[in-house]
A and B are shown apart, each in its own frame.
Chain A
Amino acid sequence: SYVLTQSPSLSVAPGETARLTCGGDNIGTKGVHWVQLRPGQAPVLVMSSAGDRPSGIPARISGSHSKNAAILTISGVEAGDEGDYFCHVWDYSEDEFVFGSGTRVTVL
């Protein structure tokens, strides 16, 4: 099955830029989505494939990709950006969603 690789953690100071990477074989050909999980809150989709931001997500959050990596960039990091971020794609060979292991973002 398809494997997505994420770094386990990232610490960033307020106002700085956080770059979260999601690695996968030829991931640039797939639709990659990102969801934020925070304790006690409903998860929030923060980026859809092709860099589409869902309604209500600020422009300082953007998505991009290369051949084997998708990147979620959060500029001007705020306290509310803390949480666990999971990249995911639809695996057509297995007919199911596949998730990365998640990156925990800590705002210093």
Chain B
Amino acid sequence: QLVQSADEMRRPGDSVQVSCQTSNYSFAHSGMSWLRLAPGRGLEWLGWISAYHGHTKYARKFQSRIELTIDKSTKTGYMKLSSLTSADTALYFCARDKLIGPGVEPVDVWGQGTRVTVSS
């Protein structure tokens, strides 16, 4: 099970951090991907992080302003997105992925989603 943090509202230019706490699976032997569902743009994959060593892989579109981190002590993943614009208004998801990297298999367990609204 993946439990995400509450919905957020931000101004353009701000940053937002979303958390995702895991339970009931071997967190340290997994990876975590982050995705979003944006109005009119469908689903997008943002990036992946290894829960074991913290290695990351980001989608090219977001790599200049996204940071994924892991807190192994609390089994929690974090996604920080900076320089927000209205185009970043979306429902953000974390999902369980493979330890060795994204794309090996599909993400198979998803969080419930965190709505991020960017508006002036």
Contacts and interface: CB of A to CB of B under 8 A. Distances in A.
B45 A99 contact: yes
A86 B43 contact: yes
A88 B33 CA distance: 14
B110 A97 contact: no
Given A86-B43, A100-B42, A102-B42, A54 B60 contact: no
A44 interface: yes
Contacts of B57: 95
A88 B35 CA distance: 12
Interface string A15-42: 0000000000000000101010100011
Given A48-B106, A88-B106, A96-B60, A42 B112 contact: yes
A99 B110 contact: no
A90 B103 contact: yes
A97 B93 CA distance: 14
Given A90-B103, A96-B60, A97-B103, A44 B44 contact: no
B75 to A, nearest CB: 17
Interface of A: 31, 33, 35, 37, 41-45, 48-49, 54, 86, 88, 90, 92, 94-102
Interface of B: 2, 33, 35, 37, 42-45, 57, 59-60, 93, 95, 102-103, 105-113
The 8 lowest CB-CB distance pairs between A and B, nearest first, are A90-B103, A33-B106, A97-B45, A99-B43, A43-B110, A96-B59, A42-B110, A42-B112
